[in-house]
Amino acid sequence: MQLQEILYSQGFGTRRVCAGLIQQGQVQVLSSKVSAEFQLCTHAAQEFPTEGLLFAVMGTAWPYQAHAYVLLNKPQATECSQKPSTYPSIYTLLPSPLRMRPQKGAVQGVQAVGRLDQDTTGMLLLTDDGKFIHRMSSPRHHVPKIYEVTVKHPLDERQIQKLLDGVVLDDDPKPVAAAACEAVTQFHLRLTLTQGKYHQVKRMVAAVSNRVEALHRSQIGGLRMPIDLEPGQWCWLSELDLLKINQHGVSVP
């Protein structure tokens, strides 16, 4: 693939902008099949194999990704929207190339796989792979998501059992049950869900006469939050990470 096409596909601007970056000496390339060191490239039309390709733009290294899969540790007081109403958008926490990746001829960038409330923290997946988003969001795949819930009132066995048996929410006559539920401490509930509804955790906890004071998503499928990923930070998902999700029924190309 031509170098300017590579940069364009990775979100570094229009083809003209990408060609300009290359011609101005702002791009270096490292390909495992070509060299063990970054090499300056000033020819926009030069061809490179994309597999294993690593390049640097203005000193920042980027791996070539046919599709971007990233994990964001969502901080409090942020919205999972491109057009937030009250709080800053989670997309402002991502570098420009992730927000500018083209899809079907238009700039769309990575999109959140589901949403977390503005006051909910923790694991949020983002990708530009529409099929992956659809599979992850489909209720028939039952991808488990684990939440760490701080509650206002002390937990008891009755509340835990009701959450396991199922509670009725306003918009659904069928009881909604937790896949797993345990009281870690008197005020710390660990809740596993395999479906997603509006404010589901808060409404389920309210249905057993308690109240959510803080909510954090710690795991999706078999993938846990990296302990060294601070709130507001993001990281690439590796093939192993995707396989951990895949173990729970979500296929990744």
Residue 252 has pLDDT above 50, yes or no: no
Q: Are residues 133 and 168 in the same domain?
A: no
Give yes or no: residues 153 and 107 share one domain. Answer: no
Res. 103: pLDDT tops 60: yes
237 plus 122 within the same structural domain: yes
Alpha-carbon gap, residue 201 to 79, rounded angstroms: 17
pTM of this structure: 0.91
Q: pLDDT of 144-179, one tens digit each?
A: 999 999 999 999 999 999 999 999 988 778 899 999
pLDDT digits (tens, 9 = 90+) for 53-65: 999 999 999 999 9
- Catalytic status, residue 117: yes
Of 63, 79, 113, the position where a domain reaches its end is 63
Which amino acid would we find at residue 114? G
Integer Cα distance of 89 and 75 in angstroms: 11
In the predicted model, what is the mean pLDDT of residues 201-221? Answer: 96
Which of 117, 119, 128, 156 is catalytic? The answer is 117
| One domain for residues 189 and 233 | no
Range of the domain at 196: 144-220
Read off the pLDDT band of 37 (50, 70, 90): confident
Q: What pLDDT was estimated at residue 251?
A: 38
Beta carbons within 8 Å of 221's beta carbon, 6+ residues apart: 143, 144, 244, 245, 246, 247, 248, 250
pLDDT range class, residue 250, cuts 50, 70, 90: very low
Cβ burial of 217 (10 Å; 0-12, 13-18, 19+) is buried
Report the share of the chain in percent with pLDDT over 70.
93
How large is the average pLDDT for residues 128-142? 83
Most confident of 91-105, 139-153, 209-223: 209-223
Report the domain count for the chain: 3
Final residue before a domain boundary, out of 15, 44, 63: 63
Whether 135 and 227 map to the same domain: the answer is yes
Of residues 173 and 45, more confidently modeled: 45
